[in-house]
C-alpha cells in the first residue's frame, strides 16, 4: 500500500477510535441524564399528586377532582398520570407530550433505564374509583439525547472529513519531492546516470538529494571510465595481437621456411651421397628450431605474464628488458631488482608497474637510459622505481589508463604511488611504495642484520 494511503488509513483509524470513545461517553452521559431527569420528574409529580390526594376527601365531586388531577399532567414531557379502575383497566390518563423527532427503537432500548412509578391509593370510601398512578416516561428525554447525538455525529464527521482531506493534501504536497527522487532512482536503475533531482525542498530532504546527485554523477564518471577502459583494452589487445602476429611472421616465419628448405634438400644430398652436407643441414635445422623455441617462449611469456613471474621478479624483469632491448637497442637499461621472493600479488603488482612505467618511458619519453629497481626498505615496503632521462611528462599530456591503473593497483595493496615528472628538468621518476606483510618485512630485518 502506498505510504500516503497507509498514513491516511492510520489517521482514519485513530479518528474512528475517537468516535467510538466519544460515542461511549455520550451513552454514559445520556444514561445518567435520563436517570436523573426521570427520578426528579417522578419526585416532583409525586409531591404534587400527594398534596392533591390529601384533600380529595373534602371534595364534593371526587370523580371530577380525580379527573382534574389526571388532566393537570396533560402536556407533561416526562410524567403520565393514570386513573386505574379496581379491575386494572385505565379509566383516565393524561396526554404525554411526544417528542417532535422520536429516537429510534434501538436507542430507546439502550437508554431507557428502570421504570419510575408511584401508586396512590384512595380513601376507603372512594376505593371504588380505583387508584391513581404516575409513571415517568423517558421518550422525550431520549428524543433530546437523540437530537444531541445526531448533531454531535454530524459535527465530528465533518471534522473528520476535513482533517482527512487536509492530511491527504498535505501528504501529497510533502511526498511530491520523494516522488521525484523515486522517479530519478528508477532512471538510475535503468542505467540512465544523467538523472538529477532539484535540491529545492526541506533541508533534510535536500541532504538526500545531494547524496543522490553525487552518487549519480559518480556512477556516470565510472561508466565513462569503464567505457574508455574497454576501448583502451581492446586497442591494447589489438596492438598486442598485431605485435604477436608480426613476431610470428618475422621471427618464426623465416626459420620455418629455412628449416623446410633444409629438410627438402636432405634427400637430394643423400642421393648424391654428400654425408657432410647432410650433417650441416641437420645442424642448421636444429639451430632454426632452437631459435624458434626461444622466440616462442618469449611470445608465450608476454601472453601469460603470471608464468613469467612464477620464476621470480628478477627473471621477469630480465625478460621485460630483453623484450624492449630487442626493439630499442639505443636505450640503455639498468636494473637493480632484489633477488628474493615476495607474496604473489605483490610480485605481480610490482611487475605490472615496472612494465607500464617502462612502456611509458619508451613510448612517450624517448630516453637514452631507463633505470628499474625493486628493493625492500627498512620501513617494511617494497620500493619500485622506474626513472628515465627522456622528455618528462608535458603539461599538455593526455590522461591514459596506465598511471591511473598503477595508482589503483598500489592503493589496493595499501601503498602509494608518486610521479615526479612535471617538475623534473628531464625525465620521469615513478616511485611505488607497496607495504609488505610482517613476515616478508622481518626477512628484510634479518637480511640487513646479517
Ligand atoms: N616516462 C614518461 N615520459 C614522458 N611522458 C610520460 C611518461 N609517462 C607518462 N607520460 C605522459 O603521461 C601520459 C599518461 O600516461 P598513461 O600511462 O596514464 O597513459 P598512456 O600511456 O598515454 O596510455 P595507456 O597507458 O593507457 O596506454 C602519457 O600520455 C604521456 O603523455
Ligand atoms: Mg601508459
pLDDT in tens, 250-279: 778 888 888 888 899 899 888 988 888 889
Mean pLDDT, to the nearest integer, of 340-344?
A: 90
37-81: pLDDT as tens digits: 999 999 999 999 999 888 888 888 888 999 999 999 999 999 999
Q: Where in the chain is the domain with CATH 3.30.450?
A: 3-166
- Give the chain's end-to-end CA distance (angstroms, integer): 74
Residue 331 confidence class, pLDDT cut points 50, 70, 90: very high
CA distance linking residue 338 with residue 316, whole number of Å: 12
Neighbours of ion ligand 2 (CB under 5 A): 360, 400, 402
Query: Does the predicted model carry a pTM greater than 0.85?
Result: no
Name the residue with higher pLDDT: 368 or 242.
Answer: 368
Choose among 156, 165, 154: nearest CA to 8. Answer: 165
The yes-or-no verdict on residue 111 having pLDDT over 80 is yes
- Could you say which ligand is closest to the alpha carbon of residue 232? 1
Higher local confidence (pLDDT), 12 or 237? 12
- Ligand closest to the CA atom of residue 401: 1
For the chain, helix, strand, coil in percent to 5 are 65, 10, 25
Share of the chain above pLDDT 90, in %: 33
Distance of CA 292 to the CA centre of its chain: 59
For the stretch 368-382, pLDDT in tens is 999 999 999 999 999
Q: Does CATH place domain 3-166 in 3.30.750?
A: no
Summarised one tens digit per residue, pLDDT across range 380-399 is 999 999 999 998 888 888 77
**Architecture of the 308-450 domain:** 2-Layer Sandwich (3.30)
> Which of the listed residues 397, 417, 425 should we mutate to test ligand 1's pocket, taking the one with most ligand atoms within 8 A of CB?
397
Residue 396 CB–ligand 1 contact under 6 Å? no
| Sequence ranges of the chain with CATH classification 3.30.565.10 | 308-450
Overall average pLDDT of the 352-362 stretch: 90
Predicted local distance difference test score (pLDDT) of residue 447: 47
Mean pLDDT over residues 153-171, rounded? 89
β-pairing verdict for 332-337 and 369-376: parallel
Alpha-carbon span 120 to 46, nearest angstrom: 9
Question: Do 34 and 111 form a contact (C-beta atoms < 8 A)?
Answer: yes
Residue 19, class by beta-carbon neighbours within 10 Å (0-12 exposed, 13-18 middle, 19+ buried)? middle
d(CA 136, CA 117): 6
User: What's the Cα-to-Cα distance from 18 to each of 4, 111, 154, 160, 162, rounded to whole Å?
Assistant: 21, 21, 14, 10, 15
Which of the listed residues 235, 359, 360, 362 should we mutate to test ligand 1's pocket, taking the one with most ligand atoms within 8 A of CB?
Answer: 360
Average pLDDT, the chain: 86
DSSP type of residue 313: H
* Selection from 408, 378, 386, 305 nearest residue 347 by Cα: 305
> Which ligand has the nearest atom to the CA of 429?
1
Chain centroid offset of residue 81 CA:
78
Q: Tell me: the pLDDT tens digits for 203-217?
A: 888 888 899 999 999
Cell numbers 602509494 correspond to: 416
Amino acid at each position: 500500500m502506498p505510504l500516503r494511503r497507509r498514513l491516511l488509513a492510520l489517521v482514519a483509524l485513530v479518528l474512528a477510535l475517537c468516535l467510538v470513545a466519544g460515542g461511549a461517553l455520550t451513552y454514559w452521559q445520556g444514561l445518567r441524564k435520563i436517570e436523573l431527569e426521570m427520578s426528579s420528574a417522578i419526585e416532583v409529580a409525586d409531591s404534587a399528586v400527594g398534596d392533591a390526594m390529601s384533600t380529595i376527601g373534602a371534595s364534593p365531586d371526587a370523580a371530577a377532582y380525580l379527573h382534574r388531577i389526571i388532566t393537570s399532567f396533560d402536556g407533561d414531557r416526562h410524567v403520565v398520570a393514570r386513573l386505574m379502575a379496581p379491575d386494572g383497566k385505565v379509566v383516565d390518563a393524561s396526554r404525554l407530550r411526544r417528542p417532535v423527532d422520536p429516537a429510534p427503537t434501538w436507542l430507546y432500548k439502550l437508554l431507557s433505564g428502570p421504570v419510575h412509578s408511584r401508586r396512590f391509593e384512595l380513601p376507603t370510601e372512594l376505593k371504588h374509583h380505583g387508584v391513581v398512578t404516575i409513571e415517568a416516561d423517558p421518550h422525550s428525554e431520549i428524543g433530546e439525547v437523540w437530537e444531541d447525538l445526531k448533531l454531535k455525529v454530524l459535527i465530528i464527521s465533518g471534522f473528520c472529513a476535513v482533517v482527512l482531506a487536509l492530511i491527504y493534501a498535505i501528504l501529497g504536497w510533502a511526498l511530491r519531492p520523494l516522488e521525484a527522487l523515486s522517479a530519478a532512482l528508477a532512471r538510475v536503475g535503468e542505467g540512465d546516470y544523467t538523472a538529477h533531482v532539484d535540491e529545492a525542498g526541506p533541508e533534510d530532504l535536500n541532504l538526500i538529494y545531494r547524496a543522490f546527485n553525487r552518487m549519480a554523477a559518480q556512477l556516470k564518471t565510472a561508466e565513462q571510465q569503464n567505457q574508455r577502459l574497454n576501448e583502451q583494452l581492446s586497442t591494447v589487445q589489438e596492438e598486442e595481437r598485431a605485435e604477436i602476429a608480426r613476431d610470428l611472421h618475422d621471427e618464426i616465419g623465416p626459420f620455418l621456411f629455412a628449416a623446410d628448405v633444409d629438410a627438402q634438400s636432405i634427400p637430394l644430398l643423400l642421393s648424391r651421397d654428400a654425408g657432410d652436407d647432410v650433417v650441416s643441414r641437420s645442424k642448421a635445422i636444429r639451430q632454426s628450431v632452437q631459435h624458434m623455441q626461444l622466440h616462442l617462449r618469449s611470445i608465450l611469456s608476454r601472453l601469460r605474464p603470471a608464468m613469467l613471474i612464477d620464476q621470480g621478479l628478477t627473471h621477469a624483469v630480465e625478460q621485460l628488458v630483453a623484450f624492449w632491448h630487442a626493439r630499442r637497442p639505443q636505450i640503455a637499461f639498468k636494473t637493480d631488482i632484489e633477488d628474493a621472493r615476495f607474496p604473489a600479488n605483490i610480485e605481480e603488482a610490482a611487475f605490472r608497474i615496472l612494465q607500464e612505467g617502462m612502456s611509458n618511458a619508451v613510448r612517450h619519453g624517448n630516453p637514452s637510459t631507463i633505470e628499474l629497481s625493486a628493493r625492500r626498505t627498512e620501513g617494511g615496503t617494497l620500493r619500485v622505481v622506474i626513472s628515465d632521462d627522456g622528455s618528462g611528462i608535458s603539461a599538455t599530456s593526455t590522461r591514459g589508463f596506465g598511471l591511473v591503473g598503477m595508482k589503483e593497483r598500489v592503493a589496493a595493496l595499501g601503498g602509494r604511488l608518486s610521479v615526479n615528472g612535471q617538475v623534473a628538468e628531464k625525465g620521469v621518476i615513478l616511485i611505488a611504495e607497496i607495504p609488505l606483510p610482517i613476515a616478508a618485512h622481518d626477512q628484510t630485518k634479518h637480511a640487513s642484520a646479517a
